[in-house]
Amino acid sequence: MSVHTTTPAHKAELSRAAWFSTIAGLCGSFVAVGLARLAYTPLLPSLIQQHWFSAADAVTLGAANFAGYLAGAILGRPIAASLSNRTTLRLFMVVATLSFFACAYPLSTTWYFVWRFLSGLSGGAVMVLVATTILPHIPASRRGFVSGMIFLGLGLSITASGTLVPELLQLGLRETWIGLGALAVILTAVSWFGWPDAAPAAAVHPAHEVHIGKSARRPLGILYGQYALNALGLVPTMVLLVDYIVRGLGGSPELGAAYWIVYGVSAIAGPVITGYAADRIGFRAAYRGALLLQAVAGILLATTGTTPALIAAVVVLGIFTPGVVPLVLGRTQEIVKHDHAAQRKAWSNATTAFALFQALGGYGYSYLFAHSGQDYQLIFLIGAAALFIALLADFLVLKPKEA
């Protein structure tokens, strides 16, 4: 499609309220989905080296966040139905913010587990609610832009954590958590009045009235499975990348932070790149390419310690950590056409599948890590294998004529 034919679609302007909602969404994904989940990764070596926790406990505590994310993905919509989306989003932004301050005090493994779980709970709930709360208030021609802005928060949070954590660690591990909490306070305040008060009447559909057509169930089921396997492929990098560079390959903490920044900068570009690809070749083909590239990157990460290969792998995995989100969201809308309520239900189901396998992967990988002599390569190879299986499922199971 030419530029001239698409120009009219871009004439709709965003109102002031729509801009505030967009900024609130970016802050929500930054704090609850990104920073609360992913700032733990560059802190992992210090948690171990400063003897706050053993290596096995530290990785398991990282997985606690994934378990919370699963709970949030499941409970987010029911809680919002009782409290309203706006109140629920505010509540979980506050909980995520409190978790940073709580983690500044390692009172016990149980204390840390509870707060890492609650930070994950906030992230899962915000992920389910943020886009579906904001997009009904956005003109249809601008929803792609606003979706990208919302998920941009993920990449920005990774880059921010990679930049801030090394500087804050010079003050101390406790001060680092407090500094991250202070940032979360600011962004929570910025987002506070930006959340839409209520969904437009046309967008309100009681949950029991939402039905997904029979013809869409099979391709959606396969998509859920692919997205779940995608979670297994991403978890090793999300949890172990910095620890792998520092303790696995003998790099300095500064080098580990540099790789995390590369990962974060790539993540900033991710939604833009995948959105551009989907516009050109379609969501299904773009997602196939995403799965293939992630699998190859996982193999590179596991089998080589050379700088160019590591950078290439980190860039690819960084791009697709947030980049697969709009691809899967768009794929659900391809499969379930012209029914916004069913699309929201399908997206919620996909997010839950991702969260479930993210949690299972987090605990499974932590167990393997502890019982394999901290074998980083094994973890990365299992993640790559999951991504290859997800890719094969699309070719071998899904009928070519579908979508």
Q: Structural domains in the chain?
A: 16-194+214-396 (1.20.1250.20)
The pLDDT of residue 210 = 59
Cα 130 to Cα 26, 254, 295, distances in angstroms:
9, 34, 29
Q: What is the pLDDT of residue 200?
A: 52
Burial of 403 (0-12, 13-18, 19+ CB in 10 A): middle
Segments of the chain scoring below 50 in pLDDT: 1-11, 201-208, 400-403
pLDDT at 93: 95
pLDDT at 77: 84
**Cα dihedral 167/270/389/398 (nearest 10):** 160
Residue 279 pLDDT: 79
* Predicted local confidence at residue 90, as pLDDT: 95
pLDDT of residue 10: 46
Measuring CA to CA, which residue among 323, 330, 360 is closest to residue 347? 330
